[in-house]
Amino acid sequence: MSEILLKATALEKRYGGLKAVSGVSVDVHRDEVHAVIGPNGAGKSTLINLLSGDVAPTSGAMMMGERDITHLSPNLRALAGVGRSYQKTTIFRDSTVFENVRLAAQAHGGSPLRMVGTAERDGNVNARAAAAVEEAGLSHRSGTVAKFMSHGEQRQLEIAMVLATEPRVILLDEPLAGMGHAEAQRMIALIGRLKDGRGVLIVEHDMDAVFALADRLTVMVDGRPIASGSPEHVRNLPAVRAAYLGHDDEIEAGAAA
Amino acid sequence: MDALTFGVQLLNGVQYGLLLFLVAAGLTLVFGILGVINLAHGAFYMLGAYFAYWISAHTGSFAAALVGGVAISFLLGLVLEELFVKRLYGRDHLAQVLLSFGLILVIDEVRQMLFGKDVHSVAPPAWLQGSIQLTDVLSYPVYRLALCVVCLAAAGAIFYVIQRTRLGMIIRAGAENRDMTRALGIPFDLVNKYVFAGGIALAALGGILVSPISTVFPGMGDGMLILSFVVVVLGGIGSVAGAAIGALMIGLTDTFGKVFFPQVSSILIYVLMAGVLLWRPNGLLGKKEA
Amino acid sequence: MKRLSKIPSAGLIAAVLAVAVALPFVVSGYYVQFASKAMLVGMLALSLNLVVGYGGLVSLCHAAFFGFGGYMLAFMTPEDGGASLWLSLPTALLVVAAVALVIGALSLRTRGIYFIMVTLAFGEMLFYLFHDTKIAGGSDGMYIYFKPELVVGGRNLLDLESARTFYFVALALLAGAAVLVKELVGSPFGRALAAARDNERRALSLGFPVFRVRLTAFVVSGVIAGMAGFFSASQFGFVAPQMLGWHLSATILVMVVLGGMGSIIGPVVGAFALIGLEEVLKTSFEHWKLIKGLVIIALVFLLPGGLRQLATLLMPERVDASATPAKPRSDEAPANV
């Protein structure tokens, strides 16, 4: 088994009396895509928010390798190697593609808050930004202002920004949401490449994409994991089929898409 | 300090807190429901006091001042909402700050043109004049007790409107989820108007009620504005119950602060605010996301 | 916010500077003093814009830093002579920095409306500190009978009693502050600050320590404001609690919006415009504040982009995409001095 990069144990998040997430243990391995699926309201987004530090857990623990990151704030987690995309594309809309990515690279540069010198003239930061833009397949759009790009390209940009922070683990919250078929295919190919040397955890409703990408699957229902394992193993579990049939027909919809 | 003096101070603190609550409740509702920051809230408090002075001086009736002052303020609120405030829903807070600062200057100057800048006093209604003799040296003014009763009644009315009426239901729903309530076809424009005007009227009511026990002077709005801000920060934006708790905390802190630490009493409430900010940045009853 | 439609050339800057340098030799003392006063207030507005325009944080306590700087000079001026600038200025700035650090650290725990209210409340706390207590003459304020001195080898190098000398000091301070803010805004730090303004969540998840960035900007801005206050107090030889009051904070905010938040020097233009307007109104109308209030209300509704928007309305041929109010584009050099 490959190296475990991120390991979460017995995560729980309560809002008042409501358990949004409970008893979730997941790990993300190097060179693997770990997909988390489940019906709406299953707590998948909350799980990502817990892993990225946007939401503080009620109990449970998270480790990056040997390092306990449970109580780290989002910015420190980013520095510890956890990068994420949001369900709603979260970029700097009025800036160019390159400036978006440059900012991300700057956050991880040697001196992210230097108060002297012009930001754009840091060669090291620029080189890392250019590499990330390239990896995300946006080199030809480098000078375009983000808000003028298509939805799919904006999502690619968000991934380029994550890449520029040199993450070891990438968390993707519904990266395919709202995409047309061609855009989705491009994004799936991109995500497939992301796992190279890194670990990826993805929450996604598009079941075709999930089964095309995932090396491992975790199924969540009502805030709890009900199954975990290889896609083939999980797909055939009666409990999973029952859960999906009991809620909505995402597996069917995904298969039909 | 003996028990009786303590009791009197306690009563003073509660009375002050209740008055603060009236003013701050108006502010927090406007914040919470309209998402508008209104720096001119204190100016309406001041205006209320001047209405009270002017109407009671001309009619000789404090009751007329009370009813007339609140009514004028409410109408003024409706007009201002229609003219200015409604254009600022959804605009950044900076624009709201500037607008309300401009309004303060205008209101101050208009007040000066209408009522001058002299300091005035207002006589309480005759049947509420006088004091209750507690001991040979201690007495408590009847008007202050009546003030407590009126504030409590007003507080009760506010809670009743919010918890029990259709308007209150809409207000609560709107604070939770504006889009949803809009989708349900609720006349939000009208509700916004009432909420804004109601908030203004509460500020003015506070000014009217305080006029017989304090002097009426041009700068009285500023102090009240800051105090209501502190109350709202303590209680949490949009929370009427939070405003009640915050107001009582400030009322008691200020009253007892003046008794026990007269040197630093004016700083105490800010220390209290700093403490709450460290502990709960969104206020005691505030929601997580402001 | 927006960029200048054309980045001013070095020539324009040189021309403005040349006029500024020549001014005290051609106009009367009244105007020299007026310009000095306006430049110091402009410096205050410029400092506020670092927080409001580039940081997206609407602070209503900058007058308190300004006033605190002034009061520090009053405290440190001896009864029989001028304070030493060598000692009094760094001390004043250090104290203001400490005050800004504490207020900033508490206020920046909050967002949006809360931030506005909390900064306003803390600013008023300082106002009442000087107003209600006897530490500095209470509500009457304090006189500063002697100007501070810059003594080297037994000689005072700066005769601040001379209106002309003072004018050049104010000009140098303003220019220095403008260069400092321009450098900050273009630096990696400035980009982090703007990123936090545009999308706090994203800035955090990229790894920027948003709180620390904002606090640093807040303190730097407070120190510039304190410096302006220090010299303003010196100019007028007097400090009063109103110098710290929130009416001044709000007025500076008006200047920032009037001049335009998207540029370094816009707020200074706004300061000159508003102070100039006040001077004219004061001499012409008894109820000039009414007009000032109406002007502010008109600004909010008719000219949200400030004077630059007016310029583009009057000169339609210059209208282009970057002249309409919009967020500054952090991908390009921000509008310049």
Contact C216 A106 (CB under 8 A): no
What value does the mean pLDDT take over residues C203-231?
Answer: 96
Q: For A76-85, B259-268, C209-218, which range has the lowest pLDDT when averaged over its residues?
A: B259-268
Chosen from C125, C132, C288 to mutate, greatest number of chain B CBs within 10 A:
C125
| Diameter of chain C measured on Cα atoms | 60
What pLDDT score does A238 carry? 83
Residue A250 scores a pLDDT above 80: no
Instruction: Return the pLDDT at C85.
Output: 84
Q: Tell me, what's the pLDDT at A106?
A: 92
User: Model confidence over B205-245: pLDDT tens digits?
Assistant: 999 999 998 889 998 999 899 999 999 999 988 888 899 99
List, for residues B83-139, the tens digit of each pLDDT value: 999 888 878 899 999 999 999 999 999 999 998 888 988 888 888 888 888 777 778
Q: Which of A43-47, A141-145, B276-280, B286-290 has the lowest mean pLDDT?
A: B286-290
User: What's the pLDDT at C330?
Assistant: 37
B113 part of contact set with chain C, CB < 8 Å: yes
Q: Which of C186, C202, C203 comes nearest A119 by C-beta?
A: C186
B116 touches chain C (CB under 8 A): no
Query: Counting one residue from B and one from C, how many pairs have CB atoms under 8 Å apart?
Result: 123
Q: Which residues of chain A lie closer than 8 angstroms to C188, CB-CB?
A: 106, 109, 111-115, 117, 119, 122, 125
| Chain A nearest-CA residue for C181 | A115
CA B17 to chain centre: 10
Instruction: Give the tens place of pLDDT for each residue, B42-62.
Output: 999 999 999 999 999 999 888
- Per-residue pLDDT at A187 exceeds 70: yes
C187: nearest CB among A76, A84, A115? A115
What's the confidence (pLDDT) of residue A18? 84
Residue ranges and CATH numbers for the domains of chain A are: 1-81+167-257 (3.40.50.300), 91-166 (no CATH)
Least confident of A25-39, A80-94, B255-269, C206-220: B255-269
Compute the nearest-CA separation of C194 from chain A (Å).
10
Q: What is the pLDDT of residues A123-173, one digit of tens each?
A: 889 999 999 999 999 999 999 999 999 999 999 999 999 999 999 999 999
Q: Could you tell me which residues are beta bridge partners of residue C155?
A: C152
Report DSSP letters for A79-138, one per residue: HHTEEEE-SS--S-TTSBHHHHHHHHHHHTSS-TT--SS-GGG-HHHHHHHHHHHHHTT-
Candidates B261, B269, B270, partner chain C, best to mutate (most C CBs within 10 A): B270
Using 50, 70 and 90 to split pLDDT, how confident is the model at B183? low
* Res C197: pLDDT: 94
Question: Number of A:C CB contacts under 8 A?
Answer: 111
Between B203 and A89, name the one with better pLDDT.
B203
Structure confidence at residue C335 (pLDDT): 35
Asked whether residue B248 carries a pLDDT value surpassing 60, the answer given is yes
Q: Does C39 touch chain B (CB under 8 A)?
A: no
Residue bearing the bigger pLDDT, A96 or A241: A96
Is the Cβ pair C188, A109 closer than 8 Å?
yes
Phi (first) and psi of residue A82, to 5 degrees: -105, 115
| Rounded average pLDDT over A79-87 | 92
Which residue, among C105, C110, C101, has the nearest Cα to C223 in the 3D structure? C101
pLDDT at C43: 97
Q: How high is the pLDDT of residue C103? A: 96
For residue B177, name the pLDDT band (cuts at 50, 70, 90).
low
| Structure tokens given for B163 | 């918890």
Q: Does residue C228 surpass a pLDDT of 80?
A: yes
Two structure tokens written together for A141: 């759009």
Class of CATH domain C10-323 = mainly alpha
Query: Are the Cβ atoms of C124 and B278 closer than 8 angstroms?
Result: no
What's the gap in Å between the CA of A74 and the closest CA on chain C? 5
Structure-model confidence comparison of residues B1 and C82, the more confident one: C82
Q: Say what the pTM is.
A: 0.89
| Contacts with A94 from chain C: Cβ below 8 Å | 198, 326-331
Rounded distance, CA B194 to CA B189, Å? 9
Q: What is the model's pLDDT at position B13?
A: 92
Nearest by Cα to A12 from A68, A57, A45: A57
Q: What is the pLDDT of residue B176?
A: 63
For B110-125, write each residue's pLDDT tens digit. Answer: 999 998 888 988 888 8
Q: What is the per-residue pLDDT for B122?
A: 86
Instruction: Name chain A contacts of C327, Cβ cutoff 8 Å.
Output: 94
Q: What is the mean pLDDT of residues A20-32?
A: 92
Percent of chain A with pLDDT over 90: 63
pLDDT digits over C15-60, tens only? 888 888 888 888 888 889 999 999 999 999 999 999 999 999 999 9
Q: Is C160 on the interface with B (CB under 8 A)?
A: no
Q: Output b/e per residue, A122-160; b: 16+ Cβ within 10 A.
A: beebbebbbbbbebbbbeebbebbbeebeebbbbbbbbb
Greater model confidence, C322 or A78? A78
pLDDT tens, position by position, C266-302:
999 999 999 999 999 999 888 899 999 999 999 999 8
Q: Give partners of C (≥3 CB pairs < 8 A).
A: A, B
Q: What is the pLDDT of residue C4?
A: 44
Spatial separation of the C-alpha atoms in residues B221 and B226, rounded to whole Å = 9
Contacts of C194 (CB under 8 A, 6+ apart): C54, C55, C185, C328, C330
User: Which tens digits make up the pLDDT trace of B2-37?
Assistant: 888 888 889 889 999 999 999 999 998 888 888 889
CA distance B6 to B14: 12
Q: Which of C121, C295, C297 is nearest residue B103 as measured by Cβ atoms?
A: C297
Closest CA to B117 of B224, B222, B223, B217: B217
Ordered by start, the domain boundaries in chain C are 10-323
User: Does the pLDDT at position C326 exceed 50?
Assistant: no
pLDDT for A47 beyond 60: yes
Q: Do A113 and C216 touch (CB under 8 A)?
A: yes
pLDDT value for A148: 94
- Assess whether pLDDT exceeds 50 at residue C144: yes
